[in-house]
A and B are shown apart, each in its own frame.
Chain A
């Protein structure tokens, strides 16, 4: 009986010893887009929890932090030259494209994680837009999906910043995630991966709510819920401004 117990312990021990878990928090879980919003940053910080001391001879520890916006379906169009002018010809629906994607890592991504996990967990710009379903997965579709990533990189919505996560003594880490000014509201997530020897050993995920606030929220909701009132209000402001300007200048001229 005792022997069996010992044997069991010996079997379990290595996995217990290797067990590392990530504990993480954000400086803010809520981003408010107000009229003067011009981008913001979220500070991601965390620690590695261990049941036992670090085993010797293990590989380096790495951390990847992914922050992404809601996944959406977008229509991507391609221009071709027809009758001498450039016009949209082909169009493809690209599914599961995040509206925003940024990744911060401790080291160059390809050196720290295996290709399979990069793809399966959508880590990195190459896999930010999820691989398209096999039914329509030909090379053509992939070029459209890549275009989404490329265009959004140009717009500052997709980014990959390697080496900016600070990892101290393989225990504490921190990263500063920048959110651009052209952020769109939605339910964002921060995913944090603990990687050792090119394999994910632990992960955590935290929700971030991005909402318009104050005047922005009021106008946006009015525009969508009471479109007539919003439209009339816009017209009223226009007429008032037109009248105001003409009156002011008439008085100035006297």
Chain B
């Protein structure tokens, strides 16, 4: 059944959107990521204008993260204090990101920026995760070798230290704020929650225990993406409510099913699968930049 999207101004098949939401939701449930990094490029591929895809995806992530964080609250695996500090950074970053987005849209480079950010970040995170989980699988074969203990690094020398009870950390607020800003900018530009950057940053840079990482990341993503949605809605008028609704119906159902599947898989296997998926997406987008496009021209909006 075809449905006309009021803001995107294109007619798409309703079941394609529901199915897409379901599949991406399932993957995000399995891996504990928002799935925005998969959904936004796919939406652009099926003909949704990039600006609408980015803004609407932010709205959909609000739904999937909220659905996910509720389960984490019950298990008490959310570090609220850390989440709020990350959120402050995130909102500052998102404000900047929406402005950058607007500026690049006006000079016609938004597509390049979005694609480049995807290639760089998906490439980095994907290969890091791949190597790391491969090592973890090898280690698992040789029992008795424990992973390295948390090290003291430059992060522990910074001022404004505070205690994060849930994470069992005593560190400066500066690194979480910086991580928040960086992920906020990405969230606004790439139409992603930023979980795929946030989760590794929390583990490797902030040294947070793995069990609170996903819940805390989801907790702050809700606020940052809600803020991004509002900014895009008010400044760019690019949030498509119907598109978001269809994606999130599929998405929330898929996420719940995915979460059940995720429990049954081993952590290392899970991470290596996610790494492969991230790398495939990265490779596809890199080819778009490297190969000569079939149409060299593109039509942008109006004149000045």
Chain A interface (Cβ within 8 Å of chain B)? 33-39, 72-81, 84-88, 91, 93, 95, 144, 147-148, 150-152, 154, 181-182, 184, 212, 215-217, 219-220, 223-224, 227-228, 230-235, 237-239, 241-246, 249
The answer to whether B300 and A38 touch across the interface, beta carbons within 8 angstroms, is: no
- How many B residues touch A, CB cutoff 8 Å? 56
Q: Which of B1-47 contact A (CB under 8 A)?
A: 1-4, 6-7, 9-11
**Most interface-central of A81, A86, A224 (chain B CB within 10 A):** A86
The answer to whether A91 and B108 touch across the interface, beta carbons within 8 angstroms, is: yes
Please count the residue pairs between chain A and chain B whose beta carbons lie under 8 angstroms apart in the complex: 188
Tell me, rounded to whole Å, the shortest Cβ–Cβ distance linking A74 to chain B.
5
Across the A-B interface, give the 3 residue pairs with the lowest CB-CB distance, nearest first. Answer: A245-B252, A231-B233, A242-B66
The answer to whether B295 and A235 touch across the interface, beta carbons within 8 angstroms, is: no
**Most interface-central of A72, A230, A238, A244 (chain B CB within 10 A):** A238
Q: Contacts A78-B297, A238-B244 hold; do A245 and B2 have CB atoms under 8 A apart? A: no
Contact of A34 among B4, B66, B111, B304 (CB under 8 A): B4
The answer to whether A86 and B67 touch across the interface, beta carbons within 8 angstroms, is: no
The CA-CA distance from A79 to B248 in the complex, in Å, is: 35
The CA-CA distance from A28 to B248 in the complex, in Å, is: 37
B42-58 vs A: 1/0 string, CB under 8 Å?
00000000000000000
The answer to whether A77 and B244 touch across the interface, beta carbons within 8 angstroms, is: no
The CA-CA distance from A239 to B60 in the complex, in Å, is: 9
The answer to whether B4 and A223 touch across the interface, beta carbons within 8 angstroms, is: no
Q: B299 at interface (Cβ–Cβ under 8 A)?
A: yes
- Stretch of B140-148, B234-242, B264-272 on the interface side: B234-242
The answer to whether B4 and A216 touch across the interface, beta carbons within 8 angstroms, is: yes
Tell me, rounded to whole Å, the shortest Cβ–Cβ distance linking B19 to chain A.
16
- Which residues of A lie under 8 Å from residue B59 when comparing CB positions? 234-235, 238
The answer to whether B6 and A219 touch across the interface, beta carbons within 8 angstroms, is: yes
Tell me, rounded to whole Å, the shortest Cβ–Cβ distance linking A218 to chain B.
8
The CA-CA distance from A243 to B71 in the complex, in Å, is: 10
